[in-house]
Amino acid sequence: MAEGGRYVIGVDLGATKILAASFDVDKGGSIKAASHEVKLRTPSDEGSERLIDSLVEAVESLRTAKAGFECLGLGIAVPGPLDREKGIVRYTPNLGLENYPLAATLGKRLGLEVRLENDVQAGVYGELKAGALRGKKTAVGIFIGTGIGGGIVIDGKLFRGSTGSAGEIGHMIVHEGGPLCGCGNYGCLEAHASRTALAKDSIALAASGRAPKLLDEAGLSFRKYRSSAFAASLNAKEAPIEKAVDRAAFWLGVGMANLVNILNPEAIVLGGGIVARFGKRYVTVARQAMRERLMPGLADSVEILVSELGDLAVPAGAALMALDHGAAQAGGDGNHGSGSGNGEK
């Protein structure tokens, strides 16, 4: 590749890691595969100055990776509620930021305009414009991790809702009186089907000696119950863990049925570490539970897809949102053309 070129940068600021990537922007304004990516540990307990330093370090290493790097925009995605227009993070439980002007502070340090976005909405946007949802008009994205986040696409656009927080799919109540959720309600989808929910069941199984491989991988430390530890247990065919995973997938399917009955989407894309690691069986169980609960005639209406962009969905979406915002500000229509290709499968 020749030196120089036009790039857009996306950053996924998570509670444990910062993932930043630069994307080559073609003449039509669409992005190609990430040209460079940087992963750093998030200094989450060390104050906002230290956090900004790490973000600057990540972005600068992308900018200096190539001579003649022209940056067309920078988007940063964070969990939790935010004011997109003002670039203010309202609250992030694991990052210690509260009413913090992240976009302005970071922008000043970097000499760039910074666009702030919600992480899951950015992830769904990434899949819509450059991943599994390319070309879809009506779709839902569900990202399963520590929690469950989601995003809704209507008429080919991300649906934001009246205050910008549409898509809290994890807090759909699927079982009134079910397990307690982090949000304070009982029986949310997240409390049944997130990795955290799965870990709660599995740690008890490991402690009682019914999943020796999982115990070997993760011990009894809740934080070590990550997707890779579960995958090791599944590979060892530990039946109690298979059952717990099937149960989490079943509840995901119940949530998916509600979404399909209400929104009649063309496709649902599933993303997150669990989906990437658990593979076919997990998706099959979820799809079956969904099909059994759909209104007559809807069973074959929806495609269940798996994220194409993986970890890069969030940086890609944040980058594309910044690019589109810049184009709209410059008087363009914000359509960078990548969504118009024939992405149907």
Residue 133 near residue 139, CB atoms below 8 Å: yes
| Phi, psi (deg, nearest 5) at residue 256 | -65, -40
Residues 232-271 contacting Zn ion, CB under 5 A: none
Instruction: Compare residues 76 and 148 and give the one whose CB is closer to Zn ion.
Output: 148
Which amino acid is residue 186, in one-letter code? Y
Q: Which is nearer to Zn ion, 197 or 203 (CB)?
A: 197
Nearer to Zn ion, 175 or 213 (CB): 175
Question: Near Zn ion by CB under 5 A, which window of 174-182, 200-208, 219-227, 268-276?
Answer: 174-182
**Please, what is the minimum distance in Å from the beta carbon of residue 183 to Zn ion?**
3
Question: In angstroms, what is the minimal distance from the CB of 189 to Zn ion?
Answer: 8
Coil, strand or helix: which one is 185?
coil
Of 165 and 208, nearer to Zn ion (C-beta) is 165
CB of 53 to Zn ion, least distance (A): 34
- Subset of residues 175 to 194 that bind Zn ion, contact rule: CB under 5 A: 181, 183, 185, 188
For position 171 contacting Zn ion by CB under 5 A, the verdict is yes
**Segment holding 73, helix H or strand E:** strand 69-78
Planar angle of CA 183, 189, 190, nearest 5 degrees: 55
What residues contact 108, with CB distance under 8 A and at least 6 apart? none
Closest distance of CB 248 from Zn ion, Å: 15
Beta strand residue intervals within 145-256, DSSP E? 148-154, 157-159
Here the tokens at position 31 are 């992005």
Q: How far is the CB of 119 from Zn ion (least distance, A)?
A: 17
Question: Residue count at the site for Zn ion (CB under 5 A)?
Answer: 5
> Contact letters (x/-) for Zn ion, 131-170, by CB under 5 A?
----------------------------------------
Q: Output 197 or 320, the one with its CB closest to Zn ion.
A: 197
Q: Which residues contact residue 40 at a Cβ distance below 8 angstroms, ignoring those fewer than 6 apart?
A: 17, 18, 20, 54, 57, 58
Q: Residue 106 or residue 174: which is nearer to Zn ion going by CB?
A: 174
CA atoms within 13 A on the CB side of 12: 22
Instruction: Report 276-315 residues binding Zn ion (CB under 5 A).
Output: none
| 311 residue type, one letter | D
Shortest separation between residue 164's beta carbon and Zn ion, angstroms:
19
Q: Are strands 139-144 and 148-154 parallel, antiparallel or unpaired?
A: antiparallel
- Residue given tokens 């910062």 in the structure block: 18
Q: How far is the CB of 172 from Zn ion (least distance, A)?
A: 8
Q: Which is nearer to Zn ion, 71 or 174 (CB)?
A: 174
Closer residue to Zn ion, CB minimum distance, 6 or 247: 247
**What's the closest the beta carbon of residue 188 comes to Zn ion, in angstroms?**
3
- Distance between CA 319 and CA 25 in Å, rounded? 10
Residue 272 phi, psi (nearest 5): 110, 165
CA dist 338 and 334 (Å) reads 11
Of residues 73 through 132, those in contact with Zn ion by CB under 5 A are none
> Cβ(155)–Cβ(339) under 8 Å?
no
Phi (first) and psi of residue 265, to 5 degrees = -75, 155
**Binding region for Zn ion (CB under 5 A):** 171, 181, 183, 185, 188
